[in-house]
Structure 1
Amino acid sequence: MTMRLRWSNYNIHDAIRLRTNVAFTTIPPYFRVDSVEPNFELRFVEHLDAPLPEAVNREAGFTVYDVGNGELVYETDIPIMYLLGSKARWRFRVSGLADERTDVVTSLPYFNFVPVRFKVTDLLSRLVHLILAIKLQSKGLAFCHATTVAKGDDAYLLFGFSGTGKSVLANEMVRAGYGYMSEDFTIVDREGRVYCYPDMPPARSRVSSLPISRYLRLKPLERKIDGSIQNRARIRSIVILEKGREQVEELDSEETSRRVTLLNLEEISKLWNSPISAIVNHYAYFYREPDLRRVMTEHELLVSAAIARAERCISVRSRSPNLETVRRLLLGS
């Protein structure tokens, strides 16, 4: 049966212009526009042929093929279906990963089967965000794993491991008059400018405890945060949240950078460790670009430069689920 997939266009701060016919729920609708001249296109097609043997220059294992001209073909098992004995393949053709324009074409059978579509879309989302991170960095921008709110031109970046209350605190601050900027990913540059990435937080109380429900859900959970979205601001304060005995600690930029680097790695590693994200590694191996060693080094330098622009960096440890200490520190600033 022929599938009709709707195209969506996104303009992310004029740095990334994405065109795709995959229905992602993880790319903020805030960036959706009527049309773009894409510098990144992800396209799902009905069928994608395996490369002919004579077209293959090099292979990596039994799944990755260098076909020249900056193109790579990658194939793997289809999630869910391989457990049922299917030998059908999920195939990609990737080009221009280190160029101004990047194209990813993908195809697999069984995409109409809801559990497969859910898992495939999740894995594609991780690949897309990994490519976004690399392409943003080529524009002098970096993803940080921070929840961000703003007041006027001042941005407040909230870092912390999962469960430390970043989203709860952000919502409280927005209700107190702050503008909302981001939930999981915040974009910064070395001058301390902050760019929104308003991926709305899920209504966690409504998430079912049964894992299978995720595969049967046809629509994303309602996402909501009170208040308006602020597009850009400048770093004013960085707050690192921890759970534990009450304590507030002033941090210098070096210690802040150390902690933020580790917190960023926790989240960004989820993108790198996703099964199909191996595409990026193989592409870099075959074509030398993007230079992933340089990408990692420059990311840390860029984020550290942004942190150095902050007027104040603090670590706040609290057992209070509402983090009253943080609100007292920041709401009056």
Structure 2
Amino acid sequence: MRSLVLLVAAVKHLRQWTYVVVTSYLQSDDTRELFLKRRRTFLKQLLNISLAVALLLFDKKIQNNPIRSHLSSISSTFIMVTHKPMDWFNYWVNLADSQQELVKDNQLLNSKILILEGQMHQLKVMNYQNKKLNQWLEQSDPTLKLALLANIISLEVNHNRQLYIINKGQKDGVFKGQVAIDGDGVIGQVIEAGKYTSTLMLISDIKSAIPVINERTGEHGIVMGQNNFDTLELLNVPKTHLLARGDKLLTSGLGLVYPFGIPVGVVKDVQNIPGEDFLKVTVIPTADVNKNHMVMLLQSLKNIEAWRQQLKERRQILETESKE
């Protein structure tokens, strides 16, 4: 304590002596004002140094005193209280950032899962269709052979047409009149073959006509489209035919367009309407006309173009003879 008093007295004495010495050399007012400003700065610094020295001496004196531990506890508590809100704030900010990152990661993972599920579903559909196509080919006429598989890229439907656009064309060997099937039966035939894509007329198209034979009775007929994916009609069936519900209709091979024995449809309903000359027969297509993603294009019987030409010439001869 005594050393502290001596230090304060020495500071005061030094302050008075410095003031007297310096002011004796000041002549002008400007110099005096500048000196006073610097003097105030110097005194502040000197006061801070003195205070620091005093605190050091005080700290050394009470190093083993209980007061020091009490003051240390108070200061620690104060520091903790002042920093705690900031710690809480940082914690909640980090927590919010973590939640946002988790939400983004979750959305990304869900998107990948949906993509993978879609790809897996497509593979399952393609595998199912391929199995059915292979099963049908194994049971079909050995003179038929697989030309190629084509993906359906567009469906054009309006009040008078039902068409597929497929991703195969002349460069792939597609030709006009080529028959298209799926794993269950006839889908339609190519009516226009472009270089890279082709147009396929479905059997449900109103312009589609397929010669068929009743698998059970052997009776012939023609199935026409009705612009309805789910319904076809068997035309001009005499009332004497032994047609029944559930009969299977197959391609008859007549006309040399559709090869013999390909499933076309199943008889759904047979109506004998009074006053009408023919039975009204409704047929359900065997093929999934509106649910396919791909079709198989068949190459018809060998030398079919030559046979078509011969048939055409024969018809012309018959027409000529009938006119004569």
Q: Which has the higher contact order (CA 8 A, sep 6+)?
A: 1
Taking structure 2 as the reference length, the TM-score comes to 0.24
Instruction: Choose between structure 1 and 2: higher strand proportion.
Output: 1
